[in-house]
Chains A and B, each alone.
Chain A
Amino acid sequence: MIKNKINYSQRKYVIGSIFILVALIILIKLFIIQIVDDSYKHSSDSNTLRYITQYPSRGKIYDRNGELLVYNDAVYDLMIIPSQAKKIDTAALCKLLNINHSTYINNLNKAKKYSMITPSIFISQITKEEYGRIAEMLYHYPGFYFQIRSIRQYPRPIAAHTLGSIGEVTKPEMDKDSYYKLGDYIGKSGIEKYYEKELRGTKGLKITVVDVHNREKERYMDGACDIMPESGNDIILGLDAELQAYGEYLMSGKTGSIVAIEPTTGQILAMVTSPTYDPNELVGRKRGTHYSQLLNNPDKPLINRAISGTYPPGSTFKMINGLISLQSGVITANTPYPCNGPKSTPIKCTHYHSSPVRLYDAIENSCNPYFWQAFQDMMNLKRFGGTKAAFKFWYDNVISFGLGRTCKSDIPFTVSGNIPTMEYYDKLYHGLWNATTIRSLSIGQGEILVTPLQLANVAAAIGNEGYFIEPHYIKCFGNPDDSVSFEKHIINIDKRHFREVKKGMQSVFEGEHGTARMSAIPDITVGGKTGTAENPHGPDHSIFMGFAPINNPQIAIAVVVENAGFGSTWAAPIASLMIEKYIKGEATRPKLEEKVLTTNNAE
């Protein structure tokens, strides 16, 4: 028996081998999951590390004199972690938050559906005042806490269209730029949109280690891998807040726009569109409601008429025609043309004056026959050898004023207006057309359409006697390392011709018959031209373009008041007040101001 048992002692090797084999299997499996397979390491990180985005403060926006136009203000989002929100006195909380019970249930369910353990927004954008009241009591309600968030604020309710607004990113915007994550804000219009990259700064990252309940426990590697957020760049605009506010004040109750440009730099001094809205309306919790209200408003306050409204320039276009005629050599400033007043053909004169007229008088009196005859002679000028060549000369010069195209600068959504081309007329008239066919062009009617911005730019180009800088909003960045520059355009018309036209424009204010003589400003020599633009949509538009002072212009301006009648009645006085306000710092003609304000063009 004992012998029998000893025989089995060799089995220790079998048993030992089983033990070693199993240990080896375990080691191989460990080797695979710990060394070969990387996915466990990544899973561990995603389990335990929370990447918290640190939002940079968005760049502020100032006017040309350093006045703050846009800044950031703190609002508070009330956050909820549903799994921690237990034993809540619902009625008391609803009362505290000033919401009804169904909203409470609704928001709670929404949060629960998103996640039980990760926070979601319960009520967004609570104001500082409400925050103070609620925060005091919030300790009664576990699972609720406040998260600070910044929104845009506008100290003055002006320049809504220029400044633009920000809103939550949309799916297409996120697809285009991976910088954005759900819930981020992005510039939607105006400056906010164009300078989004500069204003937004760079997001930072805080990495924290969390426990299984998603509670933050510590900084990951003591913050060594954190990225500090970089604040956005401030922007200083060419805009003059005082002038902008004054312009909006003058335009209240009217439909139309004002664009003022600093001729030497191309900076926009003011861009008024009316009706407008308070930019603060498109901020915070009420943004959605206000936005749809504005969208459905029949007066279309969301449209920026200064850059997207197109109007026939009317008589203001005679400056360009005069300049091109002078440049072509068909006339000199002293070339006389007869005017038969209302009996003139094919275009009658709307003003009464002596005949014949020379360039200065023609501008002063806005004499249609003069410009028609000059235009006709140019089209038939032998030197060109045909209407089409002459038309090409005219067309090339017209578009060199920046007309017929969109603005190539930081002003988004500009429209091109319209300058008819040769091809257009060939098609329309089957190739059979001459100066008479297109005679409306001579007085700025017909197919010509310009935006107020383009018109102001024409004024700047004339004021500058032959060049303009592409109009733009920005003056410079808050951080001087970032510079901006915009293209300078030279117009191929001699300086002396500009001087002749400017003389005529001066007499619009100072001449005996000047159409804007009622709007002359004491101590400031203004050059300008009124326009009364016929249009198919209703009464004539009242138009003005001009600049001041005449010899060294600091401001070029265009004013359009829709369906208001004569340029001399509305647009010219408004431009005059604007010019005075800008140059003198104040408007000194209360009577004129009152007249502009008390009557609106609807009457």
Chain B
Amino acid sequence: MRSKNSIGRIDIWLLIIYLALVTTGLFSIYAAAFNEAHPHIYDFSQNYGKQLMFIGVSLFVGFAILLIDAKFFNVVAYVVYGLSIVCLLLVLVVGSKISGSTSWIQLGPISFQPSEFAKFGTALALAHYLGKIDTDFTKFKTKLISYGIVFLPMLLILAQGDAGSASVFIIFLLVLYREGMGGQILIIGLATATLFIITLCVSKWFIMIGLVVTYAFFLLLIDRTKKNIWLVTGFLIAACAIVFSVDFAFHHILKQHQQTRINIILGKEHDTKGVGYNLNQSMIAIGSGGFSGKGYLKGTMTKYNFVPEQHTDFIFCTVGEESGFVGCFLLIALYLALILRIIYLAERQRSPFSRIYGYGIACIFFFHFAINIGMTIGLVPVIGIPLPFLSYGGSSLLMFSMMIFVFLKQDANRMNIF
């Protein structure tokens, strides 16, 4: 009886936003992968037909989740997390190579990406761990375990060579911040990122000089107590270490194509035929949409396959070209509504598990949305992560849907938590 009640109490707005995004995705894939010989959207031999099938599966699974007891996910959080870690280890052994990284597991006709699964698992595990009544984030041990939960799958995915998927886990820092992590970590993180980018753009020796000058400047300004001098000197050494290690990492650890992608974004390289081709074509497609777009199914760049991988990672091009700035604005508004709605709902949870889980998935959606769209318009390097609910692909759609439905279930059940 209770579960029936909870279904009745699910947040209708979040469900509507979810359905709107999934529908937009289906029609975008239809436009991007349209095949004249198979004009029916339910043609299962085509990508749009398959996506329709994936949507059906996702909705079925979602409905099933709503029927399961809300506490179930809190209970099995570690199991899911552990399973996903096993999968990630497995993929290192038996994974099949698709576009440069071994991140897929092939099970007969079905292939899926454990990294998608791991995001879900990590969100659950983090929520479970931090949501425990006796967890105190001020304790060092708690911090260590929290970081461990986040960075273990990240490192495993990095080991697969899929830096894009691995980068998603960074966003869990925002969840930790919400739960009490020091704001200075975010600021230091941001400063580090800035230093990172500057290192790639400018010669490291120039940065050294800049850092030393700043250091001298600080020494003049502050109270020159012993503690302060050590602190500032410590920052200087850390900054220098970052600069050198970034420089080393960029040139010796990153693969050539990753270096090139970054260089293109930084404007250091121009390459409209090779690696820069995707980005260039993608920006042309979106830019040519203008204010109101070329009209549905009328995008010439989209229709005639000028943008590679358009139905997957570059699906936003279809929206940009065919529906223009208006369409892009509405879609971004829809995503923002989704993320903010989840945060709003998360904040009204009585159970910390539900709240932290909500933040977890909101951050995952945010990261995917920002990085994916940012990449298609040249704001960030080309990182192959899907646009939630829009990109073609069964495992990502199913995972994103499950994240939503689990949260819907938690929210619907919030009144039963005391």
Contacts and interface: CB of A to CB of B under 8 A. Distances in A.
B27 to A, nearest CB: 20
Given A19-B340, A30-B286, A5 B179 contact: yes
Interface string A469-512: 00000000000000000000000000000000000000000000
Nearest to A214: B304
A11 interface: yes
Contacts of B359: 15
B335 A30 contact: no
Interface string B289-307: 1110000000011011110
A15 B287 contact: no
Nearest to A45: B288
Given A23-B336, A27-B329, A48 B283 contact: no
Contact of B287 (A1, A18, A33, A48): A33
Contacts of A211: 303-306
A15 B174 contact: yes
A47 B281 CA distance: 9
Given A41-B290, A44-B285, A5 B300 contact: no
B370 interface: yes
A25 B379 contact: yes
A30 B320 contact: yes
A217 B174 CA distance: 48
Interface in B108-133: 133
A9 B136 CA distance: 15
Contacts of A2: 133
Interface in B156-197: 174, 177-180, 183
Contacts of B328: 27, 30, 34
A34 B324 contact: yes
B210 interface: no
Given A5-B180, A15-B178, A34-B325, A43 B288 contact: yes
Contacts of A14: 177, 183
Contacts of B177: 11, 14-15
Contacts of B340: 16, 19-20
Nearest to B294: A44
Interface string B306-339: 1000000000000011001100110010011001
B294 to A, nearest CB: 9
Contacts of B285: 44
A11 B137 CA distance: 15
Interface in A19-44: 19-20, 22-23, 25-27, 29-31, 33-35, 37, 39-41, 43-44
Contacts of A33: 283, 286-287, 377-378
Interface string A211-233: 11100010000000000000000
Contacts of A22: 366, 370
A4 B136 contact: yes
A8 interface: yes
Contacts of A26: 332, 370, 373-374, 377, 379
A30 B288 CA distance: 11
Contact of A29 (B339, B352, B379): B379
Given A8-B180, A25-B379, A31-B325, A212 B304 contact: yes
B170 to A, nearest CB: 13
A44 B325 CA distance: 16
Main secondary structure of the interface of B (DSSP, over half): helix
B247 interface: no
B306 A4 contact: no
B336 A19 contact: yes
A30 B284 contact: no
Is the interface on chain A under 10, 10 to 19, 20 to 34, or 35 or more residues? 35 or more
Contact of A30 (B174, B305, B325): B325
A48 B300 CA distance: 6
A19 to B, nearest CB: 6
A12 interface: yes
Contacts of B287: 33-34, 37, 39-41, 43-44
B155 interface: no
Contacts of B179: 5, 8
Contact of A209 (B289, B304, B321, B379): B304
Interface in B260-300: 281, 283-291, 300
A26 B367 CA distance: 13
Contacts of B134: 1
B106 interface: no
A41 B288 contact: yes
A210 interface: yes
B343 interface: yes
Nearest to A34: B325
Interface in A282-300: none
Contacts of A217: 303-304
Nearest to B377: A29
A27 B306 CA distance: 24
Contacts of B366: 19, 22
B138 interface: yes
Contacts of B11: none
B336 A12 contact: no
Given A19-B336, A40-B284, A34 B306 contact: no
A82 B258 CA distance: 32
Contact of A27 (B174, B180, B332, B347): B332
Contact of B286 (A23, A34, A48): A34
Nearest to B352: A5
B290 A23 contact: no
Contacts of B138: 4
Nearest to A217: B304
A107 B137 CA distance: 74
A1 B339 contact: no
Interface string B340-369: 100100010000100000010000001000
Contacts of A212: 304-306
A48 B304 contact: yes
Interface string A491-535: 000000000000000000000000000000000000000000000
Q: Which of B183, B284, B324, B373: most chain A Cβ within 10 A?
A: B284
Given A29-B379, A30-B377, A34-B324, A4 B180 contact: yes
A543 B178 CA distance: 112
B300 A34 contact: no
Contacts of B324: 34
Q: Which of B321, B352, B373: most chain A CB closer than 10 A?
A: B373
A40 B347 contact: no
A23 B328 CA distance: 11
Contacts of A29: 377-379
B343 A12 contact: yes
Contacts of B284: 40, 43-44, 47
A212 B303 CA distance: 9
Most A-side CB within 10 Å, residue of B286, B300, B301, B352 = B300
A31 B329 CA distance: 9
B91 to A, nearest CB: 30
A27 B370 CA distance: 11
A31 B343 CA distance: 27
B290 A47 contact: no
B178 A12 contact: yes
B362 to A, nearest CB: 8
B254 to A, nearest CB: 24
B303 to A, nearest CB: 8
Among A26, A41, A211: residue with most chain B CB under 10 A: A26
A211 B299 CA distance: 11
Contacts of B377: 26, 29-30, 33
A217 B347 CA distance: 53
Contact of B288 (A4, A15, A19, A44): A44
Given A40-B284, A48-B301, 14 more contacts: A8-B180, A14-B183, A15-B178, A25-B379, A30-B332, A33-B377, A34-B287, A34-B324, A44-B285, A47-B301, A48-B300, A209-B300, A210-B304, A212-B305
5 contacts: A2-B133, A15-B177, A15-B343, A23-B332, A47-B306
Cβ-closest 7 pairs across A and B: A40-B287, A211-B304, A44-B288, A48-B300, A33-B287, A43-B284, A34-B325
